[in-house]
Amino acid sequence: MHWISWKQIAVSIVKGGLGFMRLEEVMKAFRMKMAWGILFSNQSSLWSLFIATKFRLNLVANGVSSHCSFASPLWKCIQAQFQRMLPMVQKMIGEGSCKLWIDNWTMLRPLLNLAKSPIPTELLDMEASFCIAAGLDSFFWPLSPSGMFTIQSVRDACRSPCPQLDWANKLWNPNIPPKISLFAWKLLQNAVPIDEAIQARGVHMSSMCVCCSFDSAKSVETVIHLFVESLTAQAVWDHVGSSFGVRVMPASSISVRFSQWRGALAARRSDAQTFAPLCISWELWKACNATTFEGRQVSIMIVIAKVHGWFRFINGSSKVASSPAPPSLSVSPGSVVVDARYSDQPFVIFWSKLASSWAKINVDGSSRGNLGLSGGGGVCRNERGDMLFVFTSAYGRGSSTGAEI
């Protein structure tokens, strides 16, 4: 089943695509590059002189003339690019000469196209010698800021005009795993295989949101329900929003929710705050698949804990990327190097595998001030290191020692 057309993928990233080029665009760009090299890049080169002589190239009033009865299909394609390029190419007059009526030396259009009355044929090949600027004559390619012909400029010009999307350029970041960015892109393109999208493609099936198994009111599995309106989604969004000081408002679509989130963040924000919607959507999708294909219900607290795990990963990646590399450490097998958030140097921790059927609970507590609001929490993992559950509790006013105990 095809979810996204190639035409939609072959759009620039800022316009909602993946930045690939269609084959016809590639062929057109390289043919135009060959045409530029023959006519405009270096006309005195041996290659340009050979091609011009062989195919009898000549600039005429309506473009480029070529008289050759044995031209190959490739040459015919290149010749077609001459007609497309000539009206756009501008001639920068230096200390040389130009064809007064045919060359585009005015930076607007050739004088032949600007004239209000027909120009006599005998005047079309008239050459004029005048000096506008120091140096040799050169040709200017207007689609490139530098004036030099580039494949990228043709690539951008070949693409159909599309408006830039607000969310498109925010999905891709070196600190975000590509699998999360790609999933978020597919989600915003409505290309995630949920029941609603499958039914829209002609597959007849019953639908029920698996995340609402504990809710008496069963709902059809749609994008807006699964990622925004379900009880699990609402609980995760509200929890993460309260952690970052973001008020979660009702949204009519997932793209609206992403835009609301960015608009509610302060000017100075971390990568974790910026990309929180991507991590939330990813973990909600994983929880849905775990229930559908593995038959295990993932609790809301586990989803929240995994989302916060991504926040620590993202903030750690951005910190490592922007700071000097730490000194090399001699690390033994089975150990893990941890980027200490509140220490100048990284340190090494060890994790010993538990016996079969055992579980381990790690707890911690703290207070805001040595007599202030205090709380604690913990995480339980099995012998494989998989998270079983997490818990938190508020103790009220107390000391850090009491919270630890």
pLDDT in tens, 130-143: 555 555 667 778 78
- Choose among 126, 119, 133: nearest CA to 99: 126
In this prediction, residue 283 has a pLDDT band, given cuts at 50, 70 and 90, of very high
Contact 126, 135 (CB under 8 A): no
The highest-confidence range among 71-85, 216-230, 374-388, by mean pLDDT, is 374-388
Which residue in this structure is represented by tokens 């035409």? 7
- pLDDT of 279: 92
Report residue 75 CA to chain centroid gap. 37
Stretch 373-385: mean pLDDT: 85
From residue 306, how far is each of 14, 29, 272, 319 by CA, in Å?
29, 46, 13, 20
Tokens in use for 351? 């994790």
Dist. CA 200–CA 190, nearest whole Å: 11
- Choose among 49, 83, 54, 80: nearest CA to 67: 54
Residue type, 27: M
From residue 222, how far is each of 174, 254, 259 by CA, in Å?
30, 11, 19
What DSSP character marks residue 229? Answer: I
- pLDDT of 387: 81
Contacts of 279 (CB under 8 A, 6+ apart): 180, 307, 310, 311, 314
3-state secondary structure of 61: coil
- pLDDT of 203: 84
- pLDDT of 110: 66
Instruction: Give the burial string for 284-299 (b: 16+ CB within 10 Å, else e).
Output: bbebbebbeeeeeebe
Beta strands in 41-101 (DSSP E): 58-60, 63-65, 90-92, 97-99
- Choose among 62, 64, 110, 61: nearest CA to 90: 110
From residue 185, how far is each of 65, 165, 331 by CA, in Å?
48, 12, 38
* β-sheet bridge partners, residue 375: 366, 394
> How much is the mean pLDDT over the chain?
75
Tokens in use for 335? 């150990």
In this prediction, residue 348 has a pLDDT band, given cuts at 50, 70 and 90, of very low
3-state secondary structure of 114: helix
Residue 244's region, left for phi above 0, alpha for psi from -120 to 50, else beta, is alpha
Instruction: Give the rounded percent of residues in the chain with a pLDDT score beyond 90.
Output: 6
Helix intervals (H) in 111-201 = 111-114, 121-124, 151-158, 178-188, 195-200
pTM above 0.85, yes or no: no
3-state secondary structure of 31: helix
- pLDDT of 274: 86
In this prediction, residue 340 has a pLDDT band, given cuts at 50, 70 and 90, of very low
